[in-house]
Amino acid sequence: KDEAAAAKGFEALAAAGDANGQCCLGLCFHNGWGVPKDVARAVELYRKAAAQGHAQGQCNLGFCYENGSGVTADLTEAVKLYSLAAAQGLARAQYFLGSCYFNGRGVEKHASEAARLFHLASAKGDIAALCNLGLCYRYGTGVAQDHARAVHYYQLSAARGFAEAQCCLGLCYERGTGVGKDQARAVDLYRAAASQGYAFAEYNLGVCYYNGTGVKQNVAEAIRYYTLAASRGYASAEFFLGVCHETGHGVDKDIDEAIRLYNRAAQQNHTRARESLARLTAVAGQGASEGK
């Protein structure tokens, strides 16, 4: 009821040409808040707000173009819109634009520009930008490599519940990179991220249970977390779950299931999965030939 009332209020503002009202009503239609979900209608409203120079409208419209939501995907247009909003100091746009430069989406890769934009957005507290800035320092991407600073930015983001940062910080604790080695702390961080459905953390937690790293060894729990990560298409989880099915470790031996899982991981160019798939299919083919 409150969402419907809010949407009605935004509708009145939007009808009067108020850019903020147009943007907010667009968000309502985009997410189905108080109105039936209609992404095309959201794009129309974002466009009206963006035409008036509304930074959040520009950013939201850019997001739609980047992801093909309610409009044909156009990465160049997304970068253009993010740039307009970022120039007005909008942290989320600075993060999105930084990600485009970081990954070379709609623009040539430019590591130092990505790091600069992540710095700007991080200064305003954007949790995703904080995490990505940590990645920059972890790998020396666009900045001088500094593991301690990477940990610092991961901690700021992880403390506010950002799953990717929790997982990255967990890796630092597991390996003792930029911080004292503490495998039990790593498990806690993986668990926090996994509880949000973050596949990489689910996989890492599975590895910890499988090997008894930072937690008592428990193959059944390892299988459970591998299965969760594999259900989200995480290639390494698909591979290791395939190994378990091939060997019968923690699950009933099932070569057909192993082949299915190896195939899924191989389709994502997982090298070991491709090798295992080739080996098993060759064996299966040989067996078929001998049976003739």
In angstroms, rounded to a whole number, what is the distance separating the alpha carbons of residues 193 and 162?
8
Q: Give the chain's length.
A: 292
In angstroms, rounded to a whole number, what is the distance separating the alpha carbons of residues 158 and 178?
16
Kindly indicate the confidence band of residue 292, based on its pLDDT and cuts at 50, 70 and 90.
low
pLDDT given for residue 282 in this prediction: 84
- Return the number of other C-beta atoms located less than 10 Å from residue 208's C-beta: 25
Give the model confidence (pLDDT) of 46-74 as tens digits. Answer: 999 999 999 999 999 999 999 999 999 99
Mean pLDDT of 245-252: 94
In percent, the amount of the chain with pLDDT more than 90 equals 96
Burial of 131 (0-12, 13-18, 19+ CB in 10 A): buried
In angstroms, rounded to a whole number, what is the distance separating the alpha carbons of residues 142 and 102?
9
Kindly indicate the confidence band of residue 281, based on its pLDDT and cuts at 50, 70 and 90.
confident
DSSP letter, residue 213: S
- CA of residue 8 relative to chain centroid, distance: 33
In angstroms, rounded to a whole number, what is the distance separating the alpha carbons of residues 48 and 163?
34
Counts of helices then strands in the chain (DSSP H, E):
16, 0
With a CB cutoff of 8 Å and minimum separation 6, the contacts of 56 are 20, 23, 49, 85, 90, 92
With a CB cutoff of 8 Å and minimum separation 6, the contacts of 60 are 23, 26, 27, 30, 42, 46, 49
Using an 8 Å Cβ cutoff, are 173 and 181 in contact? yes
Give the model confidence (pLDDT) of 20-47 as tens digits. Answer: 999 999 999 999 999 999 999 999 999 9
Can you state the angle between helices 255-266 and 235-247, rounded to 10 degrees?
160
In angstroms, rounded to a whole number, what is the distance separating the alpha carbons of residues 262 and 140?
33
By three-state DSSP, how is residue 145 classified?
coil
Place of tokens 């390892």: 222
- Return the number of other C-beta atoms located less than 10 Å from residue 36's C-beta: 8
* Confidence check: pLDDT of 184 > 70: yes
Question: For residue 6, what are its two tokens?
Answer: 């809010």
Q: pTM of the prediction?
A: 0.91
Question: For residue 87, what are its two tokens?
Answer: 């120039």
pLDDT given for residue 157 in this prediction: 98
Amino acid at 137: Y
Give the model confidence (pLDDT) of 142-180 as tens digits. Answer: 999 999 999 999 999 999 999 999 999 999 999 999 999
